[in-house]
Homo-oligomer: A and B are copies of this chain.
Amino acid sequence: MNRSALLHQIKRKQSVLCLGLDPSLDKIPTHLLHKNSIEEAVYEFCMSIVLECQPHIVAVKPNFAFFESIGSRGIELLQKIIAHLPDDLFIIGDGKRGDIGNTSSAYAKAGFDILGCHALTINPFMGEDSVVPFLQHPDKWGVVLGLTSNHGANDFQMLEVEGRPLYLHVMTKVASWGTPENLMFVVGATRPALLKTIRTLFPDHFFLVPGIGAQGGDLEEVMQAGLNKDAGLLINASRAILYAGSDSDYAKKSKIEAQNLHQIMRNFL
C-alpha cells in the first residue's frame, strides 16, 4: 500500500489508529484455548478483534515475537492472518530487524514477499547497509526506530552527540536514505514534548507512535504534538484493545476500546 492509498484510508475512516497484534497465550480468553489448538485459538482471537475493529482502524501491526514464541507454526499462522486481513488495512510487520546488507535483504524478502506486509520495523543501530535493503521494494515501507516509548530509550537514544540527542542524529541520517514515500519513523507516545520537536524537524514523514495505553502515553497529547498536514501519524494500541475483555464478548469489548480512541482522533482530523 503506497502513501496515497494509505492517506485515502485515513481520510475515509477519519482514523490514524493502528491495532497491535501481540497475542500472548496467558492473556487471550481461556474459552478459546479450551476449544481449539493454540494456532486456531490465536487465529480466532486476532481475526475476530480485527474484524470488529475494522471501521475504527487503518493499520494492523503484528508483533513477530508473539508469533515466534508460539512455536514453529507461529509464522505459518502469522502468514495466514496477514493473508486474511481486510485489504483496507495497512500491515506493519513489527520485528525490528536490521543486520548486514545481505541479511537485511533476506529479512526484507521474508517480511514483504513471504509474509505480505506493507511495512517492516527496522532497528538502525548497524547503519546504512542494514536499513537500505528495506527501502528498495516498490510500494513497501521501512519504519525505522527513532525515539522509542520504553524506559530503556534513555540508555542510548538520549545520549548527547555534538549537542543533539543520538536519536536525532539517527533520524537525520536515516532520512537521507529514503523519502517520505518509503520511510517512516517510530516515535514513542511517552514523550509528547519531544514528539512535537521531532515533528518540526521532520514535517513530512509518517510516524508510527507506540506507547499509548499500557505504556502511559496520552492520545490527545500525541495528536496535538504529532499531526502534520496529511495526518502523518499511525498511533498504535495493542494491549489496551486486545485485552479489553476476557469473556465470550471479548471482541465487542475490543471494538468499544477502538471506538473510544477513534472518537478522540476524529476530533483532530
Contact = CB atoms under 8 A, between A and B. Distances in A.
B127 A68 contact: no
Interface of A: 22, 24, 63, 65-66, 68-69, 71-76, 79, 94, 96-104, 106-107, 109-110, 114, 123-131, 145, 148-157, 159-162, 166, 169-170, 173, 215
Contacts of A79: 72
Q: Which of A72, A74, A109, A170 has the most CB atoms of chain B within a 10 A radius of its CB?
A: A72
A65 B127 contact: no
6 smallest A-B Cβ distances: which pairs?
Answer: A127-B152, A127-B155, A68-B110, A65-B106, A72-B76, A69-B106
A91 to B, nearest CB: 16
Number of identical monomers bound together in the oligomeric complex: 2
A123 to B, nearest CB: 5
B166 A100 contact: no
Contacts of A106: 24, 63, 65-66, 68-69
A94 B102 CA distance: 14
A127 B103 contact: no
A125 B68 contact: no
A90 B7 CA distance: 49
A176 to B, nearest CB: 10
B130 A156 contact: no
A167 to B, nearest CB: 9
Contacts of A127: 150-157
Nearest to A77: B72
Given A97-B96, A156-B170, A130 B114 contact: no
Given A75-B74, A124-B156, A107 B151 contact: no
